[in-house]
Structure 1
Amino acid sequence: MSEPSTDSAADSAPSSPPASSARPSDEMLPFLNNFHDIFTTIGVLILLGGLGVGAGTVMSGLEIEEGSLRWQMALMGLIGGIAIVTWLLSAVLVGRQRRILPGIFLCGAFTVSVTIVLVWAYAQFLQHGLNIGEGTFEGRFGFADDMEFNRDTVNLVLAEVPIALRILPIVAGLAALVPVAMFYFSFRLPFAGGLMGVGLATLAALTLFTIDPYTAGMYAPALNVAIGAALLLAGIVFDARDPQRTTRLSGTAFWLHFFAAPILLSAVLNVVQIGWTFDEADFANPEAINLLAAMGSDGGNATQLAVTALVVIAIFALVSLLINRRALIVSGLLTAGISIAVIVNQAGLETPTVVAITLLSLGAVVVLLGAAWNPVRSILLAPVPSEGPLARVFPPVSHVEG
């Protein structure tokens, strides 16, 4: 959640709170303090753009063979320099002034920069430290060309992969997780906390893939559901630690919910389309497991997926009402619109009519939810105690709310 700005001593001086139209249950923005955040963010984006263009100009002016090791080292040095600049800016804007929106972009720039440098460094270790290059694999996997895809084939191929290369997915996951964790524990930015949750879940999946790639691949639909559910549960846990929604814990929960919703929704749709596991034949025809292609088709499968998506989003809406979190619904709006359009399109209507009905239906539902949010919550939470552990998970509706 946003925290009080420390721009001036006046901010900390006792004074009457400014008038606000926000009600007790209205969610405060976990990514914006005020317009000054927007103003600062514009400057940050311009500065980051200038750093990128400047780095490109420096690289083009170097008289070094493009792609050579020296050229790569120079490029990584410039990217590392960008990471240092973003960190120093973050120390001022996020660490001292608690500028949340600029912090989100700075966190993204820092994470991407550090991840690129770390992955490149490990690749150089493989190539120059362990002499693992393209020549290492020449002729080593020819035996698998005529073999069917199954566990035995995967195990035979893995036996030919050096362990240092085999753990590359874990290294890549750690390379992305480390800068996010650094950012979160240094500046306590809620966005970084949510991103760290995604990084931890992804790292767990990559670890399973490294240990047993066949099982991870075959159970990918179920694994994706587990990742989305874990993020959703983590968001609920963080919310339960801050039921009043006044600290950064609640802000972190917002981003966990925000990231969980699209992951969980797409994972459930994949399960409906494919099942909890893949078949070995599915890997021979990747187009058959393309979710977007399936929803864009004119067959009954598209209608089934659309109906399922709306059911899942309705469940999201119910959970959102119970835990007083609108992020779950917002993350599914695009899919909800596509699903409504798919269903309406089955009636054979013209495109403008389909678009109009889709927008009217989706807009009406969102407006109704917005207008009747608290009354509906009051009805749903009637059986839930207003105090105790359950009240921390399902915040009660205040009597002063409309």
Structure 2
Amino acid sequence: MYTQNDLDEAVAAGAITPESATALRAFVDHQRNTPAVDEEHFRLITGFNDIFVSIAAAILLFAMGWIGQSIGQNLGLVIESEGPSPLAPALVAGTAWGLALFFTARRRMALPSILLLLAFVGGTVATVGFALIFGIGQTRFEGEGSEWLAGLVGATAASAGAIAAFLHWKRFRVPITVAAGAASVAGIVVALIAAAIGDIPALETIILSTVLLLGVGVFLYAMRWDSSDRARITRRSDVAFWLHLLAAPMIVHPIFTLLGLNDGDATIGEGLAVVAIYVALGLAALAIDRRALLVSALAYVLYALNELFEQFGAVSLNIALTALVIGSALLLLSAFWHQARSAIVTKLPLALRGYLPQLSPTPA
């Protein structure tokens, strides 16, 4: 099993000619009756060995975290008396980097590389955060007026995560690393804003609005990667995929939360608004040829439709009717994705179309 990126590297190594790679892509597109650009390929597993190695790596990382926690407790390097120790995530991060030197740099295994990247960045964030809390003292974070200190600690830990993601990208070039770095940068901004404004009644609204704006920023950054590979045949497309996967919940969750959908009491008007927004997100997903927006908003539209059917009296069948409507709609959209996308993109201005993925499999 090989990916588009593997074909590019084979061409670069001289194993096959660029013409042969293009002909192979065109043949696969014809066999599937769908342009490869619409398939949204990304590397997750190359074989069952990826799953095997990932399970083994997860067990080893768990063991290293447990050992680090035990050592920290014996040395007294724990938050309070029974809290976490900075040594636990530090050992996890160090082990993840060491494993990546073989399974990512040499074996180039997809799923283990993703797991090890998340363990390294997450372990770095937790190490810095726990170390700062341990050094400052847990009692300093209790009581009124401590929000600014917690925010600064969170921003510092997120900064460490961003640096870790940058170093990992420079060494290993795993596509998800850019999204991990973007998430860390977003965490820095949110933590600093929380530290600056303190505990006020409008804190949740401000944070949600900030996350929404950051989500739009990540989305635009993803589109920058997408527009640099409109045929989706290089690693840049994989980077864009993970950025879109990050941006989608950052955009969708604040919108529906600010609309009041998460308060557990959706009205008919709110339900119809959710459906309308989901349709708009569907049009945007078709235009940019990314399904992450639809998946991220799926839970909200399922809930909204369920409430609508219940409001109209279909109490006993509301769940079944909701599943029927959404499932049928998504399957139809998937079956005619390329045709629906063509109908939308061809009506957009030519200047905007230049930034969107191609409608045909032929590279520009």
Question: The TM-score by the shorter chain falls in which range?
Answer: 0.7 to 0.9
Aligned to 1:358: 322
TM-score scaled by structure 2?
Answer: 0.80
Gaps of 5+ in 1: 128-132, 142-156, 274-290
Looking at structure 2, the residues matched to 321 and 309 of structure 1 have their Cα atoms a distance apart, in angstroms, of 18
> Compared with structure 1, are the counterparts of its residues 65 and 103 closer, same or farther at alpha carbon in structure 2 (3 Å cutoff)?
closer
Amino-acid identity (%): 21
Matched positions, count: 347
Q: Which of 196, 208, 214 is matched with 1:211 structurally?
A: 196
Is residue 97 from structure 1 mapped to residue 84 from structure 2 by the alignment? no
Deviations 1:57-80 (A, max 9, x none): 686699938776899999543542
* Equivalent residue runs for 1:76-95 within 5 Å: 76-95=86-105
Partner of 2:180: 195
1:333 paired to 2:298: yes
Q: Aligned AA for 1:56?
A: W
| Cα distance change of structure 1 residues 68 and 341 upon mapping to structure 2, 3 Å threshold | closer
Which one of 225, 229, 239 corresponds to residue 252 of structure 1? Answer: 239
CA distance in 2: counterparts of 1:164 and 1:345, whole angstroms: 46
Residue 382 of structure 1 aligns with which residue? 346
Query: Is the Cα–Cα contact under 8 Å of residues 126 and 157 in structure 2 kept in the other structure?
Result: no
Deviation at 1:381, TM superposition (A): 2.2
Answer with 164-173 or 187-196: which moved more.
164-173
> Which amino acid in 1 is paired with 2:108?
R
- Inter-partner Cα distance in structure 1 for 2:135 and 2:9: 45
The alignment partner of 1:167 has SS state of helix
- Given that residues 121 and 180 in structure 2 are in contact (C-alpha distance below 8 angstroms), is that contact kept between their aligned partners in structure 1? no
1:229 to 216, 221, 238: 216
Q: 1:175 to 1:216 in 2, by over 3 A?
A: farther
Which of these residues, 349, 355, 359, is aligned with residue 393 of structure 1?
355
How many Å separate the matches in 2 of 1:58 and 1:192?
25
Q: In structure 2, what is the Cα distance between the partners aligned to 1:77 and 1:103?
A: 23
**Which residue is equivalent to 2:38?**
26
CA deviation after TM superposition for structure 1 residue 319, in Å: 0.9
Is this contact kept in 2: 1:208–1:216, CA < 8 A? no
Inter-partner Cα distance in structure 2 for 1:399 and 1:73? 55
From 347, 368, 371, the counterpart of 2:335: 371
Find the aligned partners of 1:93 and 1:374 in 2 and give their Cα distance.
Answer: 36
- Aligned letter for 1:391? R
Q: Aligned AA for 1:179?
A: A
**Gaps in structure 2 of 5+ consecutive residues:** none
CA distance in 1, matches of 2:274, 2:180: 25
For the Cα contact (< 8 Å) 1:111–1:176, is it kept in 2? yes
Give distance in 1, aligned partners of 2:225 and 2:108. 20
Contact kept in structure 2, 1:4 and 1:98, CA below 8 Å:
no
Three-state SS of the structure 2 residue aligned to 1:267 is helix
The alpha carbon displacement at 1:82 in A equals 2.6
Radius of gyration: which is bigger? 1
- 2:54 aligns with 44
Is the Cα contact below 8 Å between 2:90 and 2:127 reproduced in 1? yes
TM-score normalised to the size of structure 1?
0.73
Aligned to 1:146: none
Partners of 2:43 and 2:269 in 1: CA distance: 36
The partner residue of 2:280 within 315, 319, 323 is 315
Q: Which amino acid aligns with 2:357?
A: P
Distance change (3 Å), C-alpha of 1:241 and 1:320: same
Pairing partner for 1:174 from 137, 159, 165: 159
Q: Is 1:272 the counterpart of 2:282 in the alignment?
A: no
